[in-house]
Structure 1
Amino acid sequence: MTNEPSLLICDHCHRHFQRPRSTGRMPRYCGPRCRSASYRGRTPTPPPARTYDEDAARITKALLTKAQALEHRANQPVPAYPLETIQYCVALRRDLEEGLAVLIRQSLQNGATWGALGKTLNLTPNTLKSRYSAPQVDKLLRDRADRRPPAMPALPAQYTPEDGHLSAVTRSLPGRPGDALARALSHLHKVSGHSVRALAPATGVSPSFIYRIMAGQRTPKWPVVLWFARACDTDPEDLCLLWNKAQGLASAPAGTYDDAIRQVQAALRGLHLAAARPPLDTLPDRPGAAGLTERTARALLGQAELHPGDLTWPAVRAFVAAVRGDEDDIEPLWTRVQALHPPPGPDGPCLPAQSFG
């Protein structure tokens, strides 16, 4: 019976079966059940669904960064570049659209339905499915990854300020341009009463470049900052820490105790300047400034006699918090003061009066 031409062998269960019809294509399976089981076995296992958690975190972080940059530039007077804030808005809108697409896919993976998403976004489920299908969102993320990142400014050559009392700088890891330096320069220009065209000859750069450095779009070399400060009747040393931070440079440790104290005071004046020099009597009421007094604040800025208790770390940290600075920038300078602290005299700790304002 097994050799009879009318009996066939099923490709799936390997049993003999009778050909149902004498015409048409030769069947390979004894029935629909074996055919479906064979197809299921041949179908490759689909790859695991992509998760969008990392993409969502990365895009939302980019949104925050661009929003902060936009806020800074919107608050700076840059009439020579009126389209700069618009350009940031365009980049922010693109990130927002891409972030929405990723968050929709993330919500679907977390159990949301197309209907619920449609009610939230005021769109029909079919419209959402056509706009935010998994292949379309994956392509959007590939295109985003292929976009060329913005060019970072080259790390400038090392500078040692020409004035002996200025803090020397040393090369460290490169960093991004600092908004604090831009805010400080912008405030100096605002209170100086000088026009940008008047400052240009004193700094040796064009008026358009001055607008750019005040907007935080360019980080100037040290000689530009030095002559900018002098033209605005400000000690250039007050900007040294801000410039170091903007360039990714670390201040070299002071060699003497007097220099270490002067370095800390100059750095604190720079942070105060970057905060637009708020009145000192208002600092104790600011967040994080508990224990700070107006007299201590003046002493830390060199405007009053510095007592031994004024240079404690809690007082310095409270001042930095009051002007919304970064205590990590000041702590190495303060630590150097402690390392160079001279032995106490017969009447207690001695601080050189010539080091203070």
Structure 2
Amino acid sequence: MEGTSPRHEECRHCQEAFVQKEGPGRKKAYCSIACRQKAQRQRDGRSAQRARAVHPLGRHIAEDLQVLVASLLEVEYDGQPLKILLRTAEEVVREVECYVAAAVRDARNKGADWGSIAADANVSMTTARTVWAESKVRRQLERRAADRAKRRPRAETAPPEGLGSEQGGVLSKASERASAKLASALSYLHQESGLAIKAVAQHTSLSPSYVSRILSGERTPTWSVLCTLVRLFGGNPADLRVLFESAHGLMPLTRHAVPDAAERLLAALQGFYLAAGRPEYGLVRRASRGVLTTQDIRDILEGQMVPTWEATAALVSALNACPADIRPLWEAVHYAFLVCLDPVPHESVVPRPDSG
């Protein structure tokens, strides 16, 4: 019909005007097939971003990074050799690089464009696109996951200085057992406290997922985190000190004064007792198969008596722990006691012959 002008619509993708077709049928929403395809890809990308945003990539790495940084502080305080300090620092650097890459991907998943990311990172847009391309970050995080699967935490896999591979393997097994007992003790204290995981997370500024992994034994906490949790649960961190050191493969000095050695032995026994759920003394007596009396158990766990090795092994076995793991602590007590009774003379002192 003459005088009828074509009707124009705005493309939903590029916002450019286009001529809308006349007649029956579904009306066009886009000016071209290319715009329609681009709009579909954007919708698919937004759906994927919403799904990924539920589980941020960076958060899990940040939790592991917290543990790794704490381990760096621990080896520094422990006076470890430079080689150990630098190795731990290198692990921290690698983990930071993975975290940065994951944080950028999280920002992209939330809809941030490369311009804003480049500005926040103080780099050019070309550098941002190149360094943190999705495929590159994915490969980086896949390598990280593969490396972590190949090895256990550093303290468990690397034998301390002076230990051979066979001794290191024994230490690793002992560390695994100590880590499991530590998790059991924390789980028992948590149940006794009656606190929900979410409440624990709020009080400690840890994420609920990280708290759950600690209580399940999937993660061994740092000493500061352990103290915070134990105090929140109403327990005494000193009871778990030896278990914590064993779980991390830390090698204490082999020589202690009698009070210190006895205190470490008592802490280990109390840690095993806590990990077993603080059973009644009568149940422990029956599990010891008659080696211990109820009074013996009370005196040992309350620090009133230093037990013989037979009594120590019976108590540890009754608490479902391994006696071999505590043998060095028991020997340290008795070594220190014997030295007090018969001290080794100083090299500069020449013993005087008997007058008789």
Between structure 1 and structure 2, the one with the greater Rg is: 1
* TM-score interval, smaller chain: 0.3 to 0.5
TM-score, normalization by structure 2: 0.46
Judging by fraction of residues, say which structure has more helix. Answer: 2
TM-score, normalization by structure 1: 0.46
